[in-house]
Amino acid sequence: MLIFITMKRAAILFLAPLVLLLCTPLAGHPFDIIPFHTKNQSPVVQIFGLPAISDSRILPAGGTELTLVLDIANNYVDDSARNERITLDGETYRLALAGRYGIGNRLEFGFEIPYVFQSGGSLDGFIENYHSTFGFPQGGRDQAPKGRFLLNYQRNGANLLQIEQSHSGIGDLRLAAGFQLYRDDTDSPRALALRASFKVPTGDSNELHGSGSTDLALWLTASQDWKTTIGMWEIFGGGGILGMTKGNVLPDQQQNAVAFGSLGAGWHPLAWLTLKVQFDGHTAFYKDSDLVELSSGSVQIVMGGTLHFSDRTALDLGVSEDLAVKTAPDVVFHFALHHRF
């Protein structure tokens, strides 16, 4: 319990300056329009090596970028179908340090170290009021106990997943690489990169800090920019395949391969501001289930933007919603602080 109080205080200390920054004029400078560094934060999905599609531009030789990412996800589903029942109720805080380093003119290597903490959280009332204000269905969350933490999946009367105590710990470590296939330096530049990531099972799968599987992802990411009188515009996207060995979380129902993709756009109207929207999707991570939470593909939308403090430092702020209902958290608050050396 003490570690959760500490982590929540840390989250408040991390978020409070962001609110102040939104109210403070910034003397920023141009920074690349890059995709949001986030993915599906469902407790039964974030354990796998599903990557964020990342930038289509490889860092130059000797270039270094560090990114501190915080995703705060509020989950609530309570569903049943035939001989199955699933309850995912609580909040997931995923803090990750990611880095990448350019080698030569076309190659870069990177890493990501996540730390995951899950609890009943404190956003239930806020989410209910949000749904009520805009007329969105509550999906039963207004009838559930406030602040409850419960991750449960039953099949044929047996508990295949049962976690009721708040917990925290390191997640699965990821190594990454990227290769620049194409890039030009015109007024409307285009870029194409081949990327890969390799996830090793360093997290505790019993607490859903990791999957227990070794995952390999391979994908393409691309972008097209247009320079106009009202600012720079960019369309970005990518897609690929994720392969997984047999893990420890619902192993008999886990898929061995998942397809994923992202498509988004950004507008850079001011030196200190970029507005972005992004759609992320993937096929199902599980099979042999009648529950959409496990057996259906997912689509999320991320809306927000980037505050540019300089040509080396930028802060992403985003909110994610599940377009394919019940396949991802109701809402995810996303923060990512980027700095290039």
Q: Beta partners for 315?
A: 307, 337
Residue 45's pLDDT is 97
Task: State the average pLDDT over residues 239-245.
Answer: 98
Is residue 47 predicted with pLDDT exceeding 70? Answer: yes
**What percent of the chain is modeled with pLDDT above 90?**
79
Are 314 and 31 a contacting pair, CB within 8 Å? yes
Say what the pTM is.
0.88
Residue 143's pLDDT is 67
Residue 24's pLDDT is 45
Q: Which residue has the higher pLDDT, 158 or 140?
A: 158
Task: State the average pLDDT over residues 49-76.
Answer: 96
Is residue 8 predicted with pLDDT exceeding 50? Answer: no
Q: Provide φ and ψ at 4, rounded to 5°.
A: -70, -40
14-26 per-position pLDDT tens digit: 444 444 444 444 4
| 19 contact partners, CB below 8 Å, separation of at least 6 | none
273-294 per-position pLDDT tens digit: 999 999 999 999 999 999 999 9
Residue 134's pLDDT is 64
> 18-22, 149-153, 221-225: which has the minimum mean pLDDT?
18-22
Residue 142's pLDDT is 62
Average pLDDT over all residues of the chain: 89
Q: Beta partners for 36?
A: none
The domains of the chain, with CATH numbers, are 2-340 (2.40.160.40)
Residue 130's pLDDT is 66
100-145 per-position pLDDT tens digit: 999 988 999 999 999 999 998 677 667 767 666 666 665 666 666 7
Residue 22's pLDDT is 45
Task: State the average pLDDT over residues 181-198.
Answer: 94
Residue 229's pLDDT is 92
Is residue 30 predicted with pLDDT exceeding 70? Answer: no
| Structure confidence at residue 206 as a pLDDT band (50, 70, 90) | very high
Are 105 and 117 a contacting pair, CB within 8 Å? no
Is residue 35 predicted with pLDDT exceeding 60? Answer: yes
Is residue 38 predicted with pLDDT exceeding 50? Answer: yes
289-324 per-position pLDDT tens digit: 999 999 999 999 999 999 999 989 999 999 999 999
Task: State the average pLDDT over residues 3-13.
Answer: 42
The dihedral through the CA atoms of 295, 136, 336, 107 has a sign that is: positive
Task: State the average pLDDT over residues 69-87.
Answer: 94
| Structure confidence at residue 9 as a pLDDT band (50, 70, 90) | very low
Task: State the average pLDDT over residues 256-270.
Answer: 97
